[in-house]
Chains A and B, each alone.
Chain A
């Protein structure tokens, strides 16, 4: 395995070195929070879960073995944390603010926002915001493995081989996951991509 400075830091963390741990937190806080945020779609929750990930790293530091890159090990914990959160949410679903309101009179669903027929056409910024919303929705619609593989590629610029280790699948399966995810993303966004 080529020299990985983060692995060196983690080996110090394993011996209880707090400064090395602080350096790793500072370096990885951003990719970790972005990966979690794009997986669960809630920034406050993503920050709490990111904190839990690093606390977990500290707790299990004694079990770290430098057989893989530190980032592979870290993002395996990130993925497990996201999976646990998704399962927890499935067990205890909360009401979404985006859920349509039901009309008490006839039980029909009322739209959350009433479209203003007199409104001016949206400007470029509003269109970009709408597109971002569509991308988030398309991402949320992806199966978990495809979404995670995409996020690791995007936020961590992780090589396919490393993604395969995090996902615990073969290299060819990883390539297939990413290809299908990109195809699905393209199909979901197609109406917004053509001029």
Chain B
């Protein structure tokens, strides 16, 4: 094992992740190489100093404060729409689509209403003419139906006379 190979293993040695044969090789090299031994010592001590930094403690009421904050968050959250569980990311596009549809329907209904008003105004303007229109003239066809399609009823006397005459 050379110095580079040895120093590459420092982390695994420090974290206790080096298997026994590899660990033995590294320790053998450290025993023979003063440079690597010094480097290893500094590496190990620096980590030990870092790891020995005192830990800070949260306030004694920290958990209670978090739970209070959660209560506040719950109160501030909008009521969930249970009957139509729309994923939150779709909410804005869905609202926009509904608003567009509503606006479109409004415009269409207004146009229809205006068209109806125009027809009503025209009728009102031409009321005398309209009143004198013979709107039932088309029904003359129905009245003349006998003439257009005469009934094919059987006359028994005529049939008997025709039979005598033919014989």
Assembled-state Cα–Cα distance A58/B146 (Å): 88
Assembled-state Cα–Cα distance A136/B54 (Å): 11
Pairwise interchain contact B42-A132, C-beta atoms closer than 8 A: no
Pairwise interchain contact B67-A22, C-beta atoms closer than 8 A: yes
Interface on chain A toward B: helix, strand, loop, or mixed SS?
A: helix
CB proximity to B under 8 Å, residues A150-171? 150, 153-155
Assembled-state Cα–Cα distance A47/B56 (Å): 10
Interface on chain B toward A: helix, strand, loop, or mixed SS?
A: helix
Is the C-beta of A75 less than 8 angstroms from some C-beta in chain B? no
Number of interface residues of B (CB under 8 A): 27
| The one of A50, A139, A189, A194 that contacts B58, using a Cβ cutoff of 8 Å | A50
Taking CB atoms, residues of chain A closer than 8 Å to B58 are 29-30, 33, 47, 50
Taking CB atoms, residues of chain B closer than 8 Å to A175 are 11
Is the C-beta of B32 less than 8 angstroms from some C-beta in chain A? no
Taking CB atoms, residues of chain B closer than 8 Å to A46 are 56
Encode contact with B along A119-156: 1 for CB under 8 Å, 0 otherwise: 00000000000011001100100000000001001110
Closest chain B residue, CB of each to CB of A52: B69
Pairwise interchain contact A29-B42, C-beta atoms closer than 8 A: no
Assembled-state Cα–Cα distance A178/B57 (Å): 26
A-B contact pairs, 18 of them (CB 8 A): A18-B70, A30-B58, A33-B56, A33-B58, A34-B55, A43-B56, A47-B62, A58-B73, A135-B49, A154-B50, A179-B11, A182-B46, A183-B43, A186-B42, A189-B45, A189-B46, A189-B49, A190-B46
Task: List 6 tightest A-B contacts by C-beta distance, closest first.
Answer: A186-B46, A54-B66, A29-B58, A189-B46, A185-B46, A33-B58
